[in-house]
Structure formats: structure tokens, C-alpha cells
Amino acid sequence: MRMVVKLGTSTLTHATGKLNIRRVERLCKVMSDLKNAGHELVLVSSGAIAMGVGKMNLARKPSDIPTKQALAAVGQCELMYIYDKLFSEYHHTVAQILLTGMDVEDPQRRENFHNTMSRLLELGALPVINENDTVATSEIAVGDNDTLGAIVAVNVQADLLVLMSDIEGLYTADPRKDPDARLIPEIHELTAEVLALADGAGSELGTGGMVTKLRAAGMCLAAGCDMIITNGQRPEDLYRIAEGAQVGTRFFARKEEAL
Ligand code: GLU
């Protein structure tokens, strides 16, 4: 299976912005094992800005763009150092790719990206992708890594995109506010009712919310790729996902109608 795994900031870091070492170690171990079992993996990782906040010992995420860009430059470096170190322990080689919206909108650049990704996967490397936050201001940015995850999944013709964040999946109502909210295990069509379930809530350090996750689902489904929203607190769930078990909320693409 070719699987794109997107890790949100809330999955990778503590509320302080410092690395959640135990969780990231488990994630890298499970993903290494899945690669050993023959699956092709691509990682879309957030966390650059948050790691920069932690590394520079700031009290909170800044709101101005130049500081965010500077912190992304610091944090991206740290992020790749950690992935390189942890995946190397299991003899896997990581490759960093930083993109902006411009890179995937321009046909030539998109093709370059596709060619590089295909070659990296042929070589058995593990591509680790993030937005190029140091140059991506709002006019040219993809803007959030749920959408970036979908762009990557579609571009590499993945079978599945897994969005790992701090929520179990899509609920009938906001579970943080409504005790009667129920998890929806399967979605076969993005109806107006389904789209209305997103309320845009994100965590303090991340960018996405349910709105961006459902937008990502729309992009995946249109291209014949399934998508799962699940909680990143349990890295071992990736094994169950690879076995086809029910985890979180799965959005099913209609294969016969795929583009
Ligand atoms: N690219 C951002 C970062 O690495 C995260 C964007 C997102 O989580 O949606 O900090």
C-alpha cells in the first residue's frame, strides 16, 4: 500500500512546543516497520514553527509573519534532525521536500515534484514534506498541512492519506462541547450535511481544523484516494490501518469513478 501519513503539530509536540519524544519515537518505529513490511510511506509533517518556538524558548507561537518564518527555519532543521536520527535507527533514509502553493499550481514545478517523489520512492527513501514556511506568505502558501497532505497524496497516486491529529475522527457534533457527539466511522459521500459538521476548531499550536480536513477529503476522493482522520496519540493504529481495520473516520473513494 502507498500511504501518506500527515502528522499534526499537536501529535508531535507537547503544549510547550517541545518535542513529544515518546510519541515521535513510537511513530517513527511503527512507520519503519510498515516500510519493512513492504508498504510505501510518505510523511507530511507539521511542527516546524512549534519546534522553533520551543527551541528559541518563546512562551507562545508568535502572530507576525517574519517571526513565524524565522521560527520555521529554526524548527524545520530540528524536525529533520529528529526524523533523520530516529529513522536511521531502523536503517531508513529520510529526504526533505519543502513546497509552497506555487510549486504545486505551476504544471512544470508540479511535474518536477512528481518525478522527484517517484524516484525517491523507487530508491526506498522516506520523503518528509512540509510547507516551505520561510518563503510562503499567504499569497503563495498552501496554508495548512491537511490540504498539503491531500495534494501530496493525489500527486503520488497514494492509496490512502492518514491525517493524524488530536481528534479521533469526524463527529456528529463538536465532542469538546457536546457530550452526545458520536464518532462517524465511515463516510461514502461528502454531502452538504457532512460538510456542515466542520466547525474549524484547531489547537493552539497547529493550523488545521475539521474544515481543512474535509477539504482534504474532497481532494482525495475526487482522485480515487481514501482518507482517514484519526488521533495521533496511538501510533500503533497505523498497523491496524495497514491491515484495513476500522480506525477513526474513513472516507471511501469510489474507485470506478476516479479520475
Ligand atoms: N507548516 C506548518 C509548520 O510546520 C504547519 C501547518 C499545519 O499544521 O497545517 O509549523
User: Residue 197 has what DSSP assignment?
Assistant: T
Q: Which atom of ligand 1 is nearest to the CA of 130?
A: 1
pTM exceeds 0.85: yes
Atom of ligand 1 nearest to the CA of 131: 1
168: helix, coil or strand? coil
b/e map 188-223, b = 16+ CB within 10 Å: eeeeeebeebbeeebbebbbbbbbbbbbbbebbbeb
CA of 180 to the centre of ligand 1 (A): 31
pLDDT in tens, 17-40: 789 999 999 999 999 999 999 999
Give pLDDT tens digits for 181-190. 899 999 999 9
Q: How far is the CA of 47 from the centre of ligand 1 (A)?
A: 6
Percent of the chain with pLDDT over 70: 95
Determine if ligand 1 sits within 6 Å of the CB of residue 149: no
pLDDT tens per residue, range 158-195: 999 999 998 899 998 888 788 898 999 999 999 988 88
Q: Is the pLDDT of residue 61 over 80?
A: yes
pLDDT band at 199 (very low <50, low <70, confident <90, very high): low
Grid coordinates representing 29 are 518505529
Q: Is the CB of 130 under 6 A from ligand 1?
A: yes
Percent of all residues in the chain with a pLDDT value above 90, rounded to a whole number:
76
Please, which pLDDT band fits residue 141 given cuts at 50, 70 and 90?
Answer: confident
Give the separation between CA 181 and CA 184, rounded to whole angstroms. 9
CA of 204 from ligand 1 middle (Å) equals 12
pLDDT for the residue 246: 95
Nearest CA to ligand 1 atom 5: 46
Q: How far is the CA of 48 from the centre of ligand 1 (A)?
A: 7
